[in-house]
A and B are shown apart, each in its own frame.
Chain A
Amino acid sequence: MLRQTIAITLLSLRSIPERLAASLVIVVGLAGVVAVFTALLAMAEGFQSTLKSTGRDDVALVLRGGSSAELNSGLTRDQATLIKQAPGVRVGAGGQPLASAEMIVIAELMRTGEKTGSNITVRGVEPAAFALRPQLKIVDGRLFQPGLRELIVGRGVTQQFEGVKLGEMVRMRGSDWTVVGVFESGDANESELWADVEVAQTTFNRRGFSAVRLQLADPAGLQSVKVALTADPRLNIDIESEQQYYSGQTKQFRETIGMLAGVVTLIMALGATFAALNTMYAAVGARERAIATLRAIGFSGTPVVVSVMIESLALALAGGAIGALVAYLLFNNMAVSTLGENFTQVVFQFKVTPKLVQQGLLIAIVIGMFGGLLPALRAARLPVTTALRAA
């Protein structure tokens, strides 16, 4: 039985080159399905990993109650000072709490080659902001000088948008800002422009801050800080770890892309299944006499079924692998940007992960099975005598 199966399978696999054009239909169809599936989910994956790596679990983010995003939040100077003095915040070098009050506003920049502006976060920061984000490094130029209208620009922004190269001037609210440095951090911070918070407040005519970041002395201490701050009647705040904050922002995007990928893949998979069925029916049809001859000389039906299934699976897997490869070559690490929770652009890169490739291949296998099953059954049920007589 096993020997029969192997013999017939080898026979049919060897004859694939003779039916190359027809077999290619399965390969190309599956390559298309898997490439689209992998590419779409690689986008969701990249967005998620960028935001996830932005937040740390030992840094707490304090916003005004009910704000849900930094952009909507506002804290006065007094409130910010109170928040920084919460118990459980690590003490920095000068005996001051290691905490950074930050203000964000939005500026418009032009995407390279476009005429409509995109929203970019401008973040005014205190010196402690850098201590809270050790991953952030200046890679070109220098840091802004406190008190001057100078900006440092994330690498992601310089890649995607115009007018922010080193030495260029950015115009905001009737004043000119010089780009003096470019920084890298490998996360969502790279999608921002940073400036001295005091200068930003003057320029944008703001007195308060958007959020306060606190370095926790102990990552488990978030709860006690929360209790202390919520108990203070002068404050009305929400507090969560930076990691929670950024992870929470990916939910909607993940769901949208997940749905799109689901619908598109499902419809395409249906189309590919029909194509695979067609091809395998044709493949079986072309070999009707050969199969009938085998049956006549004593081969049983099962090996015939198995061989057709294996052929279909092999073609599907080859297609799936090509699709995954195409998605990887075309999209992996491709940088794109989309609107984040703060209503500003988040620059991120597609990530084609092994897990996605695995899932893509699984889809290919399932389609290959469906595409092979019916034609295989027909081949096995072929009445030997009529098939032998057929032209």
Chain B
Amino acid sequence: MTRSGFVFANLLRKKTRTVLTLLSVVTAFLLFGLLQAVNVMFSAGADFVGATRLVTQARVSFTQSLPMRLLPEIEAVPGVEQVMWQQWFGAVWQENTQLFFFATDPARLHAVYPEYVMPDQQWKAFEETRTGMIVGRILADKYGWRIGDKVPIASNIFPQKNGSKAWIFDLVGIYDGKDEEWQRNTNLGWINHAYFDEATLFGTGLAGTFTLKLSNPDQAAQIAHTIDSKFENSPDETKTQTEKDSNLGFFKQIGDIGLIVRWILFAVFFTLLLVVGNTIAQSVRERIPELAILKTLGFTDGNVLGFVLAEAAAMCVIGGLLGLGLATLIGIKIGGGGNFPIAVDHRVWITGVLAIVGLSLAVGLLPALRASRLSIVDALAGR
């Protein structure tokens, strides 16, 4: 019998116990995977946007719209290649479903966001259709919108000149993301700012926030500083930061949820450590005479340590990988919905695998050391 065969035979000796322990490990890592995905969304969810763009918002808050007259001044800053603006539309679909819609300039959106992938003719249609709108793939799929549809979208902020808040837009394009991460974020809708600006009862001449594409991302800090000092002490003071920081700030608004998730992770892990650790300690305890016999037969202390540690590790690795795999499947199922873009991706797996290694050592090391230090005579005598 090989050594690994020996370890497996030991695991299979008490099948109920092994299966139950394994299942506890699976559930723990399932939870770990999902919660870690949420954690990643809060702490690093904005990583994928990269640092090539800056966002200029009103210093007092991004909900205060900046006026359009800042545009030429921002464009004039050296190093700024292209500027686009986006005005929050307050979109409401049907009864009371809030959607993320912005009014923007189609050509500038195309130039500043090459990550949005859409056929050229649809970009052209968006530029040329005043009442046009484009939406991300996730939104289109969710509501079953197709190109050519007239979609009624209400605004909870802006009435039209006739006082009605019910707007209708022509869907002229559906865009995808350039990779998986961008695809997960195709839950936005864009309308034509030129049309919006003319049709709205108030809010004319407002740009909202500006998004800047830089010719050299290394200059980001310096350009941000130049822009902000330009508008210092004016009624429209600005705050310019990288797109990543801006997104991060947005997520952080949700508050202490990340902290609470960490508390839960801690509670789960603590519980798990005790459960698995205890089971393994127990199985070592029960087999003390056997371990003594192994040593009598000539296995070294190190061999015995290895056996026990391998048993613990096998349990943690099999259970952990199953749990993480399950979490990945569930993540795909619920993460595709759009509003809650979590994904159990490589970052979660890396921490997950580290946790598996840590757990194996934590629960296996003590019983293993105990087993390796057994004195043969005492153990055989049952002392």
A binding-site residues for B, Cβ under 8 Å: 21-22, 24-25, 28-29, 31-33, 35-36, 39-40, 43, 65-69, 71-72, 74, 105-108, 111, 114, 116-119, 172-174, 204-205, 236, 263-264, 267-268, 270-272, 274-275, 277-278, 281-282, 336-339, 343, 345
Task: Kindly list 11 other residue pairs between chains A and B, CB separation below 8 angstroms, not including A31-B271, A268-B268, A277-B16.
Answer: A24-B274, A28-B270, A36-B264, A43-B260, A68-B96, A106-B60, A107-B61, A108-B239, A267-B31, A274-B24, A338-B256
Interface SS of chain B: helix
**Are A236's CB and B157's CB within 8 A?**
no
**Are A275's CB and B61's CB within 8 A?**
no
In the bound complex, residues from chain B placing their C-beta under 8 Å from that of A345 are 253, 255
Q: With A72-B90, A267-B30, A268-B31 in contact, is A173–B274 under 8 Å at CB? A: no
Question: A68 CA to B30 CA in the complex, in Å?
Answer: 38
In the complex, which of the residues B235, B253, B254, B275 contacts A275, with contact meaning CB atoms closer than 8 Å?
B275
**Are B257's CB and A281's CB within 8 A?**
no
**Are A72's CB and B21's CB within 8 A?**
no
**Are A35's CB and B267's CB within 8 A?**
yes
Q: With A25-B274, A25-B275, A118-B252 in contact, is A72–B157 under 8 Å at CB? A: yes
| CB-nearest residue of chain A to B58 | A173
In the bound complex, residues from chain A placing their C-beta under 8 Å from that of B361 are none
In the bound complex, residues from chain A placing their C-beta under 8 Å from that of B275 are 25, 28-29, 271, 275, 278
In the bound complex, residues from chain A placing their C-beta under 8 Å from that of B249 are 116-117
Could you give 18 example pairs across A and B, Cβ below 8 Å? Answer: A21-B281, A21-B282, A29-B275, A40-B260, A65-B165, A71-B63, A72-B156, A74-B202, A116-B249, A173-B60, A204-B64, A272-B271, A281-B16, A336-B256, A336-B260, A339-B253, A343-B253, A345-B253
**Are B255's CB and A338's CB within 8 A?**
yes
In the bound complex, residues from chain B placing their C-beta under 8 Å from that of A108 are 59-61, 239
Please list the 4 inter-chain residue pairs (A to B) with the smallest Cβ-Cβ separation, ordered nearest first.
A32-B271, A338-B255, A271-B27, A116-B249
| CB-nearest residue of chain A to B202 | A74
Q: Which of B236-258 contact A (CB under 8 A)?
A: 236-237, 239, 245, 248-249, 252-257
B binding-site residues for A, Cβ under 8 Å: 16-17, 20-21, 23-24, 27-28, 30-31, 34-35, 59-61, 63-64, 90, 92, 96, 154, 156-157, 163, 165, 202, 233-237, 239, 245, 248-249, 252-257, 259-260, 263-264, 267-268, 270-272, 274-275, 278-279, 281-282
Question: A72 CA to B61 CA in the complex, in Å?
Answer: 15
Question: A192 CA to B272 CA in the complex, in Å?
Answer: 42
| CB-nearest residue of chain B to A71 | B63
In the bound complex, residues from chain A placing their C-beta under 8 Å from that of B96 are 68
B18 to chain A, nearest CB (A): 10
A250 to chain B, nearest CB (A): 15
Most buried by B among A65, A107, A119, A174: A174
Question: A336 CA to B256 CA in the complex, in Å?
Answer: 6
In the bound complex, residues from chain A placing their C-beta under 8 Å from that of B237 are 173-174
**Are B252's CB and A337's CB within 8 A?**
no
Q: With A32-B270, A66-B156, A72-B157 in contact, is A25–B278 under 8 Å at CB? A: yes
Question: A264 CA to B260 CA in the complex, in Å?
Answer: 12
Question: A44 CA to B42 CA in the complex, in Å?
Answer: 20
In the bound complex, residues from chain B placing their C-beta under 8 Å from that of A106 are 60-61, 63-64
In the complex, which of the residues A31, A271, A338 contacts B272, with contact meaning CB atoms closer than 8 Å?
A271
In the bound complex, residues from chain B placing their C-beta under 8 Å from that of A173 are 60, 64, 235-237
**Are B60's CB and A32's CB within 8 A?**
no
Question: A270 CA to B275 CA in the complex, in Å?
Answer: 13
Q: With A66-B165, A108-B60 in contact, is A282–B282 under 8 Å at CB? A: yes
Q: With A72-B156, A74-B202, A205-B235 in contact, is A114–B252 under 8 Å at CB? A: yes
Question: A352 CA to B275 CA in the complex, in Å?
Answer: 27
**Are B274's CB and A29's CB within 8 A?**
yes
